[in-house]
Amino acid sequence: MKKKRIFQGGILLSALLINACKDPLEHFELNVGTEILHYTNMIQVEDGNGQPISNITAAISGPDAALIYNLAGYKNFTINGGLLGLGIHPEHDPTKDREVRYDVSFSGSGYLTQVVPVVISEQQPYSVQTVHILNLDNPPPGVRMNQSSLTLQNNTLLTDATLATTIGNQATGTADIKLLQGTSFLDRQGAVIPGDHLNLRMVYLDASVEKALGAFPGGSLNSANVLAEGGTVVTSGSFNPAAVVAVDFFIGASPVKKFSQPVTLSIGLDAAFYNITTSALLKAGDQLSVYSYDVTTAQWQFEKYVTVEMKNGKPVASFETSHLSWYMVGNYLNSCTNPAILRFSGNWMIAGNTYPLKVEALLAGKVLKSLQVSLNTSSPIVNISDLPLSSKGISIRVYTADGQLLTAATGVELPSGSCTDEHIIALNPPVYNSAKVTLQLYVRCPEKKSTVKVLPTFYLYYREAKTSADDTGFKLLGVVKNGLLSTSLLTVDSKVYDFKAIWGNNIKYAYKKTVKADNSATVGTAPGDIIGVKVGANNLEMLTENCQ
Amino acid sequence: MKSFLQSVTLLSALICTSAKAFSQNDEVRYPYIKYIGIHAGTQGVGVSAFMPVNTALSVRTELSFLPFDIQVGKVYNGYNTKSDLSARFSNVHATLEWAPLHTHENIWKYLVASAGAGYFFKADGRINTRLADKYHYGEIVIDPAHLGTITTRVSWKNTIAPYLGGGLQHIEINPRFALGITIGSYYLKQPAVDITGTNLLVGNESNTPIVRENLKNYRFLPVFQLNFSHQIK
């Protein structure tokens, strides 16, 4: 009996000791971060006149298309508020030795289809680029267009015909295409397309007008998909265009790709064109390259050389062609195979502040490539792919988000033969009204006392306040990381701003807000929290969904 | 502190009682014999030495090592998780053992009460927690290995901890070998807690106060131990 009591006592003691050892992680509030996508790319879709476009469709293609999702993790690429956010599958992030490349095709009724190549390098977790889709009814300055229709008999032209653009809309040059009597029109396979009407459309881009070149195929003057002269494999190259035209013919809904006999294109060239080949302004007798661009493959291909002629005192390039596409007349340069590394320096940068900058690579006075970046003192490096740094004449020009120039107007020239170098770009100090404004966002899930500790990372845009019906003029303020952003772009108290935040596939607006030096707010349902008044129910739904 | 004072009081009582017992009977063989031994139990495995002080009181010293690893599955905040728990405890330990019934000719002559302290030169616990299931973000399926790990480190290192216990010691198998069984507990200082997260589990450091609260009662380290001793001259 005594033994039994001792045994029972031992069991009780053990139970008490073990009972003290409850699960160390009991009530652990495990949170998974919101930054699922490590690499994202925000594409701002505009019509070249500053108007955001949403009523067109986007499709992803290219070598890494399978890795690309929208910011909510779906294969649904809808443009919302003129913005298309894309992310890379987090298990396939770019590495030092491998960039992620894909093409985004934008098309829609009334717009010229544009295929934009996107390159994401290891050092570019966030990137923003603006794509200009040419609105055929409202083209930007420097763009002229002509559309007409010709009658066919037995699927051939009855008489010689010419389609030409005219001077206007800041375009100082013209282009025309001459078709000969008896020409029949063929599809990609070479078969005659039957029909009794030929619809023609010619678009001319004046290469001297920067906004016109926004509609350049691919959205920038360089490409990693070029079949250069004598080449059998694609390479990376850059163009210095003296003029660009797009010619599209249709019979019914069928696009014409070839002709039964050659047609002649005459393209007016930029009179102030700097010919890189001769290192001089363009003159009669200069040889320029003609490259064509196939929008279905997003590939440039060398066609021929053309000799510049002077007609009525203006430089013109005329050549025959047997197929239709975009044509670029100008210089071609081989680009580096690895991205250029730019390290930005400026002792005026305040630690912790985010600086959204527009970085432009210039070649012969033209913007070869433009991208928006979000920099800070601990992350001052930007990679730019496909720059022709084997040649001289590339320079880097930098603007703040509010348009202040931080370099010389001609940019900082990069040395030639420097594909593998890191280039230091010194930035002049901008003028700001408030040195540092901090925005801190907290999130409190419904029916929780404490705020969540894993805070959202999202793109934030701003503008000086306008009416909510007007969605134009938003500029990147920066990437809000873990709910925090510090900036010099906002002015404390005296100015009123609108904000636009993109989190996953959601866009949230906050209109007519002033800011203090330190601004913190908690999104939630508790007293004192903000849930939003415009669409509070939707906000609560979003909050609840993201708190699950 | 209160517990420590109680321990000291009990220890004093043991010494006084045993001194009295020694003076009454110095012919009894047990527990005058020196032993060395090995042991295994909840504080690990190790070696021990036993030195008699008088007829009822002896000093036991031990060196113990505990390597402990286990995997457990739990649900936290709606997420199924897998946690790898690992503990590494190493200590030296000295106790006074009092055998109040050593004059009996039955099993109770082996009964001892023990009091002393251990110095933990290593006393760390680590819990590596990761999600057990694939994580779905839209149509993206992410392997838990890419989501990261939460590492919770708990440390009582460099602690001198009082010990109280009891059991049956020196149960003779033959004149040279003996067995023992003890149960007791250390009283540790409050542990230091450190949490770090990687990848998408960064930010869970904010759970440190929760874990610290859970561990506030992790001050009793229970000991259940078997030992096997060999007599030395």
State how beta strands A222-227 and A299-307 pair: parallel
pLDDT reading at A11 higher than 50: no
- A-B C-beta contacts closer than 8 Å: 112
Q: Nearest-CA residue of chain B relative to A3?
A: B108
Give the separation between CA A451 and CA A411, rounded to whole angstroms.
Answer: 46
Rounded to the nearest angstrom, the minimum Cα separation between A70 and chain B is 9
Whether A260 has its CB under 8 Å from any CB of chain B: the answer is no
Give the separation between CA B205 and CA B150, rounded to whole angstroms.
Answer: 8
Answer whether A33 sits within 8 Å of B76, measured CB to CB: no
Average pLDDT over residues B34-51: 90
pLDDT reading at A533 higher than 70: no
* Average pLDDT, rounded, for chain B: 82
Answer whether A74 sits within 8 Å of B202, measured CB to CB: no
Q: What is the pTM of this model?
A: 0.77
Collapse the DSSP code of A479 into the 3-class scheme (helix H, G, I; strand E, B; otherwise coil) and give the result: strand
Closest CA relative to residue A276, chosen from A333, A209, A210, A212: A333
Nearest Cβ partner for A74 among B127, B138, B154: B138
pLDDT of amino acid A539? 54
Confidence of residue B159 (pLDDT cuts 50, 70, 90): confident
Helix (H) or strand (E) holding B4: helix B2-24
Answer whether B138 sits within 8 Å of A70, measured CB to CB: yes
Average pLDDT over residues B53-65: 90
Give the separation between CA B111 and CA A2, rounded to whole angstroms.
Answer: 13
Average pLDDT over residues A47-57: 91
Helix (H) or strand (E) holding A211: helix A210-213
* Average pLDDT, rounded, for chain A: 87
Collapse the DSSP code of A278 into the 3-class scheme (helix H, G, I; strand E, B; otherwise coil) and give the result: coil
Task: Answer positive or negative: Cα dihedral of A53, A57, A63, A65.
Answer: positive
pLDDT of amino acid B149? 94
pLDDT (tens digit, 9 = 90+) per residue, A329-381?
A: 999 999 988 888 999 999 999 988 889 999 999 998 899 999 888 888 988 99
Q: Any idea what DSSP says for residue B55?
A: S
- Token digits of residue A281: 């302004």
pLDDT (tens digit, 9 = 90+) per residue, A456-499?
A: 788 889 999 999 888 888 988 988 887 888 998 999 988 999 98
pLDDT reading at B189 higher than 80: yes
Q: Nearest-CA residue of chain B relative to A19?
A: B217
Average pLDDT over residues B71-79: 86
Rounded to the nearest angstrom, the minimum Cα separation between A29 and chain B is 5
Nearest Cβ partner for A33 among B202, B205, B214: B202
Whether A449 has its CB under 8 Å from any CB of chain B: the answer is no
Closest CA relative to residue A117, chosen from A217, A192, A21, A50: A217
Whether A20 has its CB under 8 Å from any CB of chain B: the answer is yes
Answer whether A25 sits within 8 Å of B217, measured CB to CB: no
Environment class of residue A133 by beta-carbon count within 10 Å: exposed (0-12), middle (13-18) or buried (19+)?
Answer: buried
pLDDT reading at B14 higher than 50: no
Rounded to the nearest angstrom, the minimum Cα separation between A27 and chain B is 7
Partners of residue B142 in chain A, C-beta under 8 Å:
36, 90-91
Confidence of residue A528 (pLDDT cuts 50, 70, 90): low
pLDDT reading at A184 higher than 50: yes
